[in-house]
Amino acid sequence: WPARPIQSAAAKLYSNTALLEEYFEDLDKRIEERMSILKNRLGAMRNFGVNYVEPEGGIYLSTQFDLFELLNFTTNEEIRQWLLEEAGVAVVPFQAFGLEEETGWFRISIGAVSVEDISQAMDRLDQALTSASSH
């Protein structure tokens, strides 16, 4: 239970519907901007085995990095480590959510990163995939 002053402040905020609407419109805009960059950049990497499922909302993008053949890997964990070490991109494998198969599916969050962070991460990822495919 939150302390009484926090409850009072929250009640006051919730009664200001115009302020809440403005906040959520801005939040939705910022989420869409980040997600759009991520989807466009990942979509351009389909030739490397990258795919994603169009999200219905939220701050997570389900993304497949089918890099098993390209990198001679057999597990999602190997792909996760490669993405982190070679591209500086952190992902959560679907095994964290109960999937047992090694499918190359991961979840990416846009919740705590800026537009610039996403763009730079996609640059690094594209460079790492390009380098891996040329070997």
Residues 124/89, Cβ–Cβ less than 8 Å? yes
- Relative to beta strand 50-53, strand 105-109 is unpaired
Separation between Cα atoms, residue 82 and residue 71, nearest integer Å: 9
How far, rounded to the nearest angstrom, does the alpha carbon of residue 9 sit from its chain's CA centroid? 32
Edge-to-edge, what's the strand order for the sheet holding 50-53? Answer: 50-53, 60-65, 105-109, 92-93
Q: What is the dihedral of CA 95, 53, 68, 100, to 10 degrees?
A: 20
Q: Which two tokens stand for residue 1?
A: 């239970």
pLDDT in tens, 28-71: 999 999 999 999 999 999 999 999 998 988 899 999 999 999 99
In the three-class reduction of DSSP (H, G, I as helix; E, B as strand; rest coil), residue 18 is classed as helix
Query: What is this structure's pTM?
Result: 0.86
pLDDT band per the 50, 70, 90 thresholds, residue 135:
confident
